[in-house]
Amino acid sequence: MRKAGEKSALTGVIFAILLVALNLRPAISSIGPMLEPIRTDLSLTNGQVSLLTAVPVLCMGVFAPFAIIFNRRFGLKRSIGFLLAVIGVFTLGRGFWPSYFNLLLSSFFIGIAIAIIGPMLSAMIKRDFPTRTASLIGVYSFGMGLGATLAAGLTSVVYAASGWSTGLAVWSALALAALIVWLRMPESPSQGEAVADKPLISSSPWKDLKAWYMLLFFGFQSAFFFSMLTWLAPIAIDKGLSVLSAGAVVTVMTAVQIVCNISIPMLFSRYPNRFLWVLAILAFGTAGILLLMFAGTWAVWVAAALIGVALGGLFPIALLLPLDATESADEANSWAAMTQSGGYLISAFMPFIIGVVYDQTGNHDITLWMFLAFVLLMILFAYLLHRKS
């Protein structure tokens, strides 16, 4: 009976982690398909409207170190519960006050909440599932990918029926569902598997060269993800697709991504070489970018699927690297906070820079070359990290 109870508690915790992760992308990914309607309705430039995705990612970089403070002062459960409520309230507010100022304000506070939740989920996985980190990171990244897919695909449907403000606000329902499950979750899933959640004194990751390589790798994979999430639909529109079809292209990309989010980490224990995984995954991404550069309209759908494979594999690897290098939950929290803080700061400006360049050039040729540069930089830092290891 005791083992059955522990198994049920573990299942409950895994489901709670999945629901929390589900909320870490919709408030951002729902903006992508709505860029053109928002820009037109509020009379904005491409640079201004791209700030709606750049601001939360910037906040995710600036405020990620606060995960350490929240964890030590309030604990994982209370902190994540409060931050879920923040995401829900500000997402809902977009429907009641559909102005550019409120969109920026909500992006700011949602970005802060996501910034702090991310490293804390990694710490929780390290604490409660120390022998199954790859599998649980797969659940974590699958939840994030599923949230992005739902928001990217269904926001356009809600927009067609009720307008873009409702299309953005509807995703507050996910936060409410996650909050209810999270607050009912038991404090400790299994005394047999969980390790003590006590801060351990260790050297700062900011002084470790390996942590810096992780930070830079995380930064450029994140830049690749958010830039694609923001600009793939406009690129598809430039190639001749309609707004609804462009939203469907983003859905294809994110759907493939979520399948890879959970399937690729399952293979890590059998084939543990992270560098070889990076090379294989980025081969798909490179092929997708080249199709967008040189092929016709038909290739957009194939390119979206290939890029989805790359995005789906890169994120679990980026999340696992700090867990591979640490021994305790507190140490994992510190390393994850550092890599995500610096990484998101790197990626925060990329969608905005692309928007400014697009305003100046009127096409996405430079955008696609930037994507290839991201690929080369990821290979470089993965190689340096592999050599360091």
Q: What is the pLDDT tens value at each position of the chain, 389 positions in all?
A: 456 556 667 788 889 999 999 999 898 888 877 888 888 888 888 778 878 877 888 888 899 889 888 988 888 889 999 999 999 999 999 988 888 999 999 999 999 999 999 999 988 888 888 878 888 888 998 898 888 778 877 888 888 888 889 999 999 999 999 999 998 876 654 433 344 444 444 567 888 888 899 999 999 998 998 888 778 888 888 888 887 788 788 888 888 988 898 888 888 777 778 889 999 999 999 999 999 988 888 889 999 999 999 999 999 999 888 888 877 777 888 888 899 888 888 887 787 788 888 888 877 888 899 999 999 999 999 999 888 66
Contact 60, 114 (CB under 8 A): yes
C-alpha triplet 336, 17, 139: angle, nearest 5° = 80
Contact 305, 184 (CB under 8 A): no
For residue 115, the tally of other CB atoms under 10 A from its CB is 27
- What is the rounded distance in angstroms from the CA atom of residue 246 to the CA atom of residue 295? 16
Residue 258: CA count within 13 A, CB half-sphere: 20
Residue 292: CA count within 13 A, CB half-sphere: 32
- What is the rounded distance in angstroms from the CA atom of residue 261 to the CA atom of residue 310? 10
pTM for the whole thing? 0.81
Amino acid at 300: V
